[in-house]
């Protein structure tokens, strides 16, 4: 069951949920929260060790243990194959969380065409093709919810990551257009744009005490933001409680933009 004081969504019970990049960070917390809701969770990642540990840690906490599928999301043929396998094993996907991405920093002057294309493949392209792959089953099952992971990085905007911010801005535009495309099938498409979330990776690479203090100073809410803050919004957007909401972007940043 969810932690005391937080919502339970009956509509998510036994519903097939797919999360990309679910092995660590925000994605891992999203996996955990859906497991606690009683969903049938499948998640994709390339980090096998972290993913297998997550499965071990949360399997006993819900009605259905999560299932890990190794997958390189930049390989669209492989992504499509894995999604077909998930549908065969768990049933039609009713919730897709396009979470996977990588915010490595890069110098403007050093970006090559090859690096640019690789960043689009890592951060943008798979979100569209994963959605395209699950739509037939989702539509036949009566509809569902697609949640795309954006970022506030392009809204600020942050320097030193122009390929990443470009991809994340495009996700917002894709969300609005695809929501129009799929609305008649009762498929909702929304975007979640996190701010500075204190994942282990962020703390290891960038969130020094000094930088964290600067971030909190810009926020209306004077506290560190955690993966659970993002995951609980995703639960709401996945559940039938948000059945009239589509084509929107929701910012989770403590009020910094």
Residues assigned a catalytic role: 164
Strand partners, 42: 18, 67
143, with CB counted inside 10 A (0-12, 13-18, 19+), is middle
Alpha helix positions (H), the chain: 25-36, 48-58, 76-90, 113-120, 126-140, 162-182, 200-205, 209-218, 227-238
CA-CA distance, 55 to 50, in Å (whole number)?
9
Which residue's entry shows tokens 């065969």?
88
In angstroms, what CA-CA distances link 82 with 8, 20, 76, 79, 145?
Answer: 29, 11, 10, 5, 19
CA-CA distance, 45 to 72, in Å (whole number)?
7
Instruction: Confirm if 60 and 83 have CB atoms less than 8 A apart.
Output: no
CA-CA distance, 86 to 64, in Å (whole number)?
14
Between the two ends of the chain, the Cα-to-Cα distance in Å is 33
3-state helix, strand, coil in the chain (%, to 5): 50, 15, 35
């Amino acid at each position: 069951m969810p932690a005391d004081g937080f919502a339970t969504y009956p509509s998510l019970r036994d519903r097939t949920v797919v999360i990309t990049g679910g092995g660590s960070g925000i994605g891992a917390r999203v996996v955990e929260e859906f497991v606690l809701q009683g969903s049938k969770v499948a998640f994709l990642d390339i980090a096998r060790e972290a993913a297998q540990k997550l499965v071990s840690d949360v399997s006993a906490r819900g009605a259905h243990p999560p299932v890990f599928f190794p997958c390189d999301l930049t390989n669209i043929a492989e992504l499509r194959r894995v999604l077909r396998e998930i549908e065969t094993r768990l049933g039609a996907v009713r919730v897709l969380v396009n979470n996977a991405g990588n915010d490595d920093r890069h110098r403007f002057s050093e970006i090559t065409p090859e690096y640019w294309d690789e960043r689009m493949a890592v951060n943008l392209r798979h979100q569209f093709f994963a959605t395209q792959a699950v739509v037939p089953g989702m539509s036949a099952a009566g509809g569902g919810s697609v949640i795309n992971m954006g970022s506030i990085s392009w809204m600020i905007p942050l320097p030193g990551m122009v390929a990443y911010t470009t991809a994340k801005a495009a996700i917002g535009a894709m969300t609005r257009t695809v929501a129009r495309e799929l609305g008649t099938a009762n498929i909702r498409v929304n975007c979640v744009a996190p701010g500075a979330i204190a994942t282990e990776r962020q703390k290891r690479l960038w969130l020094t005490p000094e930088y964290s203090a600067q971030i909190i100073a810009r926020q209306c809410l004077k506290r560190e933001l955690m993966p659970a803050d993002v995951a609980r919004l995703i639960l709401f957007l996945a559940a039938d409680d948000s059945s009239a909401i589509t084509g929107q972007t929701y910012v989770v940043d403590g009020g910094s933009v």
